[in-house]
Chains A and B, each alone.
Chain A
Amino acid sequence: MTPPTAATVAPTTVHGSVALHAPRKHRPVAEFLSTYVFSKDHKVIGLQFLFSTLLWFLVGGLLALAVRWQVAWPWSDVPVLGKLFAQEGGQMSPEFYTMLFTMHATVMIFLVIIPILAGAFGNFLIPLMIGADDMAFPTLNMLSYWFMWPAFFAFGASFFVEGGAASGGWTSYPPLSTNVASSPASGWGQTLWLIGLTFVGVSSMLGSVNYMTTIILMRAPGMTMFRLPMTIWAMFITAVLQAFALPVLTAAGFMQLADRMFGTGFFSPEGNVVNNTVTAAGGGQPLLWQHLFWFYSHPAVYIMILPAMGMVSDILTVFARKPLFGYRPMVYSIAGIAGLGFIVWGHHMFMSGMNPALGITFMVSTMMIALPSAVKTFNWLGTLWGGKIQFTTSMLFAMSFVSMFIIGGLSGIFMAATPVDIFIHDTYFIVAHFHYVLFAGTAMGVWAAIYFWFPKMFGRTMNEFWGKVHFFLTFIFLNGTFFTMHILGAVGFPRRLADAYHYETFHHLQPLNAFMTYCAIGMVATQVIFAANFIYSMFWGPVAGRNPWNANTLEWTAPSPPGHGNFDYQPVVYRGPYEYSVPGVEKDHLMQTDPPNAAAAAAAAAAH
């Protein structure tokens, strides 16, 4: 996979060095396993996360297409996928449709976005960008990846059990998700869903403990907290969010599991009648689940965007050849988002029957959380202002992150306004909103990061021409798919309906939905270009040097790809990460490790 360098051949385990000199029959296998499979090297683990999540990205995308197919042409035969899932005559049933959107969201959130940001990029970048040789707890790190596999199996297997995979929505609101009689998929499908969720949680928790410890304790000499690149700040605060919010979700998940397996009734009220049968357990509260679920899942929304914000901030500076505008405000606004993120969960519950006075409180805190997001956007624009912009693929994706995040951020204000939310709650307006944040935002940020760090990962650069084609088509199609959803939302078109056209209010919306589905098909098809570019470039792309983008941060001082232990010398940090186009300096960038030259030292001395 990676061209051998002196460092990668160097012993990776205690036994590794023996293997080099005394090859025995089973040794190459053991060597391979310990290097590429059960590796404790953060870079290998990061790439394992990257490949796994990209594969699940494909699965989630195909599920989305099936959802879109039904919304555009309800009850018509589904091409290809219809046969794949062996539906009767290729037409999907309404319960199959509910399963599709449940699993689309589940896969995208828990198996793609969260692990690709924290797992893939967090793992790969944290030690490299802070100048450490690895994570603080390499074994824990390896476990955090392997705990994803039970989740992969649980979610994957749930498609094939009786009743199908979970279909109570990704939010799994009880009693629909706890009462087996209320939905065919509330049987094993939902149980496997909860088990899968728990394992994803364990994986995230192991990761977050590791990231926090590593960032606090293992920074290179001279790397103060306020010399950290934004990527690391974002990863750090994300890890803190994970560590504090996850236990609540895990506990709630176990409570739901207990409701289902042992009839504890935490979430079921007394006298509940499902399918003409009085349910046995009672004394519980359906709203309790919503509070617990959103106490995690709202911070999780920021877990799903903050790392992308960090990476985009770094990429913008590199290709604008300019320092980040307002470094400290950027750090504080991330911290502000994270802090406020814990007291806004109730805005998912404005219509839930929660005390409307409490709704006002959550509305105010929600309005306020728009503020740090606005500050970040203005600072990104400030970063581009007066820059010297290079239109690389990575930069285009990063700028599109800014452009799209503006839309996603502004549309959030509509939902935060409680009276307006009465009308647009659970309509396509919210679907538009979170796809602008999570797809047009995070996924575009992830692509920016892949194109940007690919040379560091594989020692080769991706093809720029095909990268730009990929960007152009994705950009067009995503707006065609998601921008129009705002319009559907304005009509009140509800989400999660297998067929809404029999309503007088919505019957005229089918042509618009068909247009969106064509765009969605185009968007998924475009990713073939990306996959081909990725795989081709991994093996045959032009060889990149250590620092192909002339960037400042520490990872660019290591070999591409870095060997075991990362750096061939101990990096020492002399300055912040954004010293681009410094006046009086010949090159347009000063790396964090560049020793201060005599002139700068003299100037500094004079200033004091």
Chain B
Amino acid sequence: MGKRLAGIFWALLFLAVPVFGVATFAIAPAYDHWLPKDVSEHGASIDSLFYFILALTGVVFVVTEVLLFWFMWKYDAAKQQGGATYIQGSHTLEVVWTIIPAATLLFLAIYQMNAWADVKMRRPAMAPTVEVVARQFEWRLRYPGRDGTLGTADDLFLVNDLHLPIDEDVLIQLKSMDVLHSFFLPNVRIKQDAVPGMKIPVWFKAREAGEFDIVCAELCGWGHYKMKGRITLEPRASFDAWLERKYAEQQTTQPPPESPGDLAASN
């Protein structure tokens, strides 16, 4: 009897895994411990894929964990009179549980390609809206200025304070001066490593105005944790006004910076 109680105890402990697992995911959004607000156009396809995989894996998780619990409950040695069933396997079952996951995984693989291509492959044909140059431990920004071309004398230089217009495609040219960094905009569902020696294009279209975090998501040294920037998404008119204001400020207060930042930014 004691042995049977022990078996029940252990089976229930394993049942707690799916119970608490599902509960954790169910409760977390209510406490705002969940995907941060998304303001991008492509973000919906990423989030819906996340939910789709969550549902799919959630079902597999619950079914397999409950089966494990059920077997522990039912086939407890303390409960059984006879011996174990002598089964070495089942060809049919092997085929079934190979084909079904294979088809599901293949479907998942093909299903998501489009979303990936939108974010990383179908680059809009346009000149860069801004160049972001990462360095330990700041985000250096360079707007093309009035002539719309990067690398000319009227470029606008700023640090950590990125402004971009909403409701239109923006193209960021991402670089790094020193080590690896990663340009992470949680609310725009964008992440891209900045690699020294490479110019990497990053693009998106924001749907909503607001001010959000820029986070560095690739270890870049002791100050990695405070490599923080802010991104302000605003309508075109106020974006243009902001650009003009910053441009006027630069004209009066500072000469265009020379090397080494310039050196790295122009190669």
Name the A residues within 8 Å of B102 (CB-CB): 368, 371
**Residue interface mask A471-499, B partner, CB < 8 A = 1:** 01001000100011011101110101111
A179 interface hit (Cβ, 8 Å): yes
Q: Are A407 and B75 interface neighbours, CB within 8 A?
A: no
B264 interface hit (Cβ, 8 Å): yes
Given contacts A388-B77, A479-B17, A497-B224, contact A420 B46 (CB under 8 A): yes
**Residue interface mask B86-123, A partner, CB < 8 A = 1:** 11111001100110011001101100110111011100
Q: Are B49 and A420 interface neighbours, CB within 8 A?
A: yes
Name the B residues within 8 Å of A588 (CB-CB): 83-84
Q: Are B197 and A494 interface neighbours, CB within 8 A?
A: no
Q: Are B121 and A326 interface neighbours, CB within 8 A?
A: no
Q: Tell me which of B3, B85, B260 contacts A581 (CB under 8 A).
A: B85
Assembly CA distance A364 to B53 (angstroms): 15
Least distance between B131 CB and chain A CB atoms (Å): 15
Least distance between B223 CB and chain A CB atoms (Å): 7
Least distance between A560 CB and chain B CB atoms (Å): 23
Name the B residues within 8 Å of A277 (CB-CB): 260
Assembly CA distance A385 to B225 (angstroms): 49
Name the B residues within 8 Å of A352 (CB-CB): 193, 195
Q: Are A479 and B20 interface neighbours, CB within 8 A?
A: yes
B242 interface hit (Cβ, 8 Å): no
Least distance between A379 CB and chain B CB atoms (Å): 8
Q: Are A410 and B195 interface neighbours, CB within 8 A?
A: no
**Residue interface mask A178-193, B partner, CB < 8 A = 1:** 0100111000000000
Q: Are B84 and A173 interface neighbours, CB within 8 A?
A: no
A422 interface hit (Cβ, 8 Å): yes
B177 interface hit (Cβ, 8 Å): yes
Given contacts A353-B195, A387-B84, contact A417 B178 (CB under 8 A): no
A394 interface hit (Cβ, 8 Å): no
Given contacts A169-B219, A353-B200, A356-B121, contact A382 B90 (CB under 8 A): yes
Q: Are A386 and B84 interface neighbours, CB within 8 A?
A: yes
Residue with the highest number of chain A CB atoms closer than 10 Å, among B14, B179, B223, B226:
B179
A94 interface hit (Cβ, 8 Å): yes
Least distance between B28 CB and chain A CB atoms (Å): 5
A508 interface hit (Cβ, 8 Å): yes
Name the B residues within 8 Å of A286 (CB-CB): 180, 195-197
Q: Are B36 and A492 interface neighbours, CB within 8 A?
A: yes
Segment 42-65 of B: residues with Cβ below 8 Å from A = 45-46, 49-50, 53-54, 56-57, 60-61, 64-65
B159 interface hit (Cβ, 8 Å): no
Name the B residues within 8 Å of A273 (CB-CB): 135, 177-178, 260-261, 263-264
A248 interface hit (Cβ, 8 Å): no
Name the A residues within 8 Å of B115 (CB-CB): 419
Q: Are A396 and B10 interface neighbours, CB within 8 A?
A: yes
Name the B residues within 8 Å of A580 (CB-CB): 84, 86
Name the B residues within 8 Å of A329 (CB-CB): 89, 94, 98
Q: Are A490 and B35 interface neighbours, CB within 8 A?
A: yes
Segment 67-87 of B: residues with Cβ below 8 Å from A = 67-68, 71-72, 75-77, 80, 83-87
Q: Are A320 and B195 interface neighbours, CB within 8 A?
A: no
A582 interface hit (Cβ, 8 Å): yes
Given contacts A273-B178, A403-B17, A425-B217, contact A505 B212 (CB under 8 A): yes
Name the A residues within 8 Å of B53 (CB-CB): 413-414, 417, 420
Segment 284-310 of A: residues with Cβ below 8 Å from B = 285-287
B215 interface hit (Cβ, 8 Å): yes
Q: Are A490 and B34 interface neighbours, CB within 8 A?
A: yes
Q: Tell me which of A327, A375, A425, A498 contacts B225 (CB under 8 A).
A: A498
Q: Are A422 and B119 interface neighbours, CB within 8 A?
A: yes
Q: Tell me which of B17, B83, B108, B179 contacts A321 (CB under 8 A).
A: B83
Name the B residues within 8 Å of A374 (CB-CB): 97, 101
A500 interface hit (Cβ, 8 Å): yes
Q: Are B109 and A270 interface neighbours, CB within 8 A?
A: no
Q: Which residue of B lies closest to A372 (CB)?
A: B98
**Residue interface mask B207-250, A partner, CB < 8 A = 1:** 00000110111111111111010000000000000000000000
**Residue interface mask B1-31, A partner, CB < 8 A = 1:** 0010011001001100100110011001000
Name the A residues within 8 Å of B14 (CB-CB): 399-400, 403
Assembly CA distance A8 to B266 (angstroms): 73
A175 interface hit (Cβ, 8 Å): yes
Q: Are A388 and B83 interface neighbours, CB within 8 A?
A: yes
Name the B residues within 8 Å of A500 (CB-CB): 225
Q: Which residue of B lies closest to A377 (CB)?
A: B64
Given contacts A374-B97, A410-B60, A581-B84, contact A176 B33 (CB under 8 A): no
Q: Are A184 and B83 interface neighbours, CB within 8 A?
A: no
Residue with the highest number of chain A CB atoms closer than 10 Å, among B28, B105, B187, B200:
B105
Q: Are B179 and A182 interface neighbours, CB within 8 A?
A: yes
Least distance between A136 CB and chain B CB atoms (Å): 31
Name the B residues within 8 Å of A497 (CB-CB): 224-225
Q: Tell me which of A173, A325, A360 contacts B87 (CB under 8 A).
A: A325
Name the B residues within 8 Å of A320 (CB-CB): 75, 84
Given contacts A417-B108, A419-B46, contact A351 B64 (CB under 8 A): no
Q: Are B219 and A173 interface neighbours, CB within 8 A?
A: yes
Q: Which residue of A lies closest to B34 (CB)?
A: A490
Q: Which residue of B lies closest to A488 (CB)?
A: B33
**Residue interface mask A240-284, B partner, CB < 8 A = 1:** 000000000000000000000000000011111111111000000
Least distance between A430 CB and chain B CB atoms (Å): 11
Assembly CA distance A269 to B198 (angstroms): 9
A-B contact list, 15 entries, CB within 8 Å? A173-B218, A179-B179, A273-B263, A274-B178, A329-B89, A351-B192, A389-B7, A390-B77, A413-B105, A419-B46, A420-B50, A422-B190, A426-B184, A498-B224, A578-B88
Known: A387-B84, A414-B54, A420-B112. 4 other contacts (CB 8 A): A274-B178, A423-B35, A492-B186, A494-B215
B residues touching A (Cβ–Cβ < 8 Å)?
3, 6-7, 10, 13-14, 17, 20-21, 24-25, 28, 32-36, 45-46, 49-50, 53-54, 56-57, 60-61, 64-65, 67-68, 71-72, 75-77, 80, 83-90, 93-94, 97-98, 101-102, 105-106, 108-109, 112-113, 115-117, 119-121, 135-136, 177-180, 182, 184, 186-187, 189-198, 200, 212-213, 215-226, 228, 260-261, 263-264, 267
